[in-house]
Amino acid sequence: MRRLVLIAAMALAGALFVAPSTPARAVAADGGVIATPSVAASAASSVPVSATPVWMLPLHNADGDVVILIPGTTDYDGADQLGRTRDIGLFGTDPADRPAIRIVDYPGAFGFRIGRFPVDLVGEGTYNDSVDIGTRKAVAAVEAAYDPTKPDQKIVINGYSQSAPVAMNAALMIKDRGNVPLDRIVVVIGADSRFPNTGVENVLPSFVPGLYTNGDRDAADLDGIQVYSYCVRGDSACGIGNPLVHPVATIFYLLPGFYLHGSLNDQINEYEIVREWDDGSTHYVVYDGGNPWGMMLRDLGIPVPEEVDDIVDALIPVPMPGEQATIAGHPVPTPRELQVALYAVFGARVPVTDPDVDSDTRASMADEHTPDDSIPATEPGPGVAVIAGRSTPVAEATPPDPAASDGGGATETDPADSPDAEAEPDVESESGDGADSERALDSDPTDANPTESNPTESNPTETNPTESNPGPADADAGTGHRAGSGADTDADGGDGSDGDGGDSSDSD
């Protein structure tokens, strides 16, 4: 009985880390109205700053560029993911030039198993099964989108939270299968649960069937494919602390980190970029929007001064995403890394499911022939502004405070040289994306209304953006909410994965 209670408790804790959702909304699909879960309704909703981040490559509809968008947990129609990507300018700021977007339809579920009995916390199916199905469907969508007659075409595989591993797995299998040239593929992910060192799958041990964790990635696996991975400081999916070193901070920031993960990642253009580094062809970016408690309370309409953030930070520092925890300068392994070491002593393997660490899953996906059933994304209608993934009549859209309207993309090298991106209230059919650098992207205006679209790295060295010697690959960036930017680049060989073996796809 105690074992069952422990499994249930760990599953619920994992759900807090991985299951994202923006404020509650009802969305129409072919099957009717679907009510998605709510983290908390924001009392201080505003139009997010729209600009293409400085680290993002330009995309163009004229080149045949396509985004394969994979929603996160519970984001069944992709509205949340569109709100934190397309609608804030991630794929470009000119609606006429943005790439076409296709949404991968997969379970987006979050559950586990006790013996033969499934426990569906969100949707139907386990987390591992959902990621497995999403990976296969994403591969099919990418291969279907490839057009050999368009030599400049880029295919962006985009994921967030649960779908970040889906996107990375799909890119790996695209590389293995060899049906699409690697220079056509770009991966853009946020809040990756396998973010180096601080991703929840690198911290939590792997022992709950259906919720197995897969550890760090080896960045070399995706050599030849450009990957961009970003994480906001305090996000409980990609920036959790090591509880063996920072137990108080890990617990203290769990609740606001969950809120940030579900509700505030559409505001990255207002945050400061505080770290950037490269590991092989993967570029990591860390944003800082303030102390997670302050961010959450302000978003809920409680006017907490930003000076309070600095005080709380000093008392209980927020873990830095991607940074390995140390004691007296000595690295301290995470609970999962200790599990791997302990299993190795007895000649056992930690159960894993992702194809980069499980050879059986990789082999089955290499010969996969799943048909493409991705859905074209729909543009917001005329007279509608997109706010945090929901469509709102322009008259109801809340324009940002002019005094806080600076934000968005960042320039390189010197924070003092960073131009402010001016936020304007959205009055067009799109979310009014402002331009950053020379980026203009865009979408297919013929996209149709999606039906229920189910959502189902590599231990690089760290860099401190406050240091004065950024390498040539660095892009100091970030303006806006807590102004300033900077980032150094150090490349490091990634920490490997657990190795092949273990549980494969966790089929129910």
pLDDT for res 387: 39
Does residue 332 fall inside a structural domain?
Answer: yes
Q: Which of 335-344, 374-383, 385-394 has the highest mean pLDDT?
A: 335-344
- How far is the CA of 95 from the CAs of 62, 101, 320, 441, 446, in angstroms? 12, 12, 35, 7, 12
| Segment 141-180, tens digit of pLDDT | 999 999 999 999 999 999 999 999 999 999 999 999 999 9
pLDDT for res 378: 86
- For the ranges 58-62, 343-347, 411-415, the lowest mean pLDDT is seen at 411-415
Q: Report the b/e string of 301-312 with b at 16+ CB within 10 A.
A: eeebeeeebeeb
Which residue would you say has higher pLDDT here, 437 or 117? 117
Res 41 pLDDT > 80 = no
Residue 284 belongs to what domain range? Answer: 39-422
Does residue 74 fall inside a structural domain?
Answer: yes
Does residue 48 fall inside a structural domain?
Answer: yes
Res 398 pLDDT > 50 = no
pLDDT for res 48: 78
- Does residue 96 contact residue 429 with C-beta atoms inside 8 Å? no
Point out which residues pair with 385 in neighbouring strands: 392
What gap in Å lies between CA 429 and CA 125, rounded to an integer?
A: 36
Numbers of helices and strands, H then E, in the chain: 11, 18
118 alpha carbon, distance to own chain's centre: 27
Does residue 203 fall inside a structural domain?
Answer: yes
Does residue 400 fall inside a structural domain?
Answer: yes
What gap in Å lies between CA 34 and CA 56, rounded to an integer?
A: 33
CA neighbor of 429 nearest in space, from 45, 86, 23, 115: 86
What gap in Å lies between CA 500 and CA 498, rounded to an integer?
A: 7
Output the average pLDDT for the chain: 77
- For the ranges 35-49, 309-323, 457-471, the lowest mean pLDDT is seen at 457-471
419, two tokens: 């131009």
What gap in Å lies between CA 269 and CA 287, rounded to an integer?
A: 9
Q: What is the largest CA-CA distance in the chain?
A: 65
> What is the tally of structural domains in the chain?
1
What gap in Å lies between CA 335 and CA 341, rounded to an integer?
A: 10
> Could you give the dihedral angle defined by the CA atoms of residues 328, 334, 335 and 339, in that order, rounded to the nearest 10 degrees?
-110
pLDDT for res 46: 56
What percentage of residues in the chain have a pLDDT greater than 70?
Answer: 65
Does residue 476 fall inside a structural domain?
Answer: no
180 alpha carbon, distance to own chain's centre: 24
pLDDT for res 436: 40
pLDDT for res 504: 40
| Strand positions, DSSP E, 416-461 | 421-422
Res 322 pLDDT > 70 = yes
Phi-psi region of 74 (alpha: psi -120 to 50; beta: other; left: phi over 0): left
Does residue 437 fall inside a structural domain?
Answer: no
Res 100 pLDDT > 90 = yes
Which residue would you say has higher pLDDT here, 495 or 311? 311
| Segment 65-76, tens digit of pLDDT | 999 999 999 999
What percentage of residues in the chain have a pLDDT greater than 90?
Answer: 64
- Count the neighbouring beta carbons within 10 Å of the beta carbon of residue 330: 7
Which residue would you say has higher pLDDT here, 380 or 103? 103
Does residue 97 fall inside a structural domain?
Answer: yes
Whole-model pTM over 0.85: no
Res 198 pLDDT > 50 = yes
Residues 6+ apart with CB under 8 A from 205: 213, 335, 336, 338, 339, 350
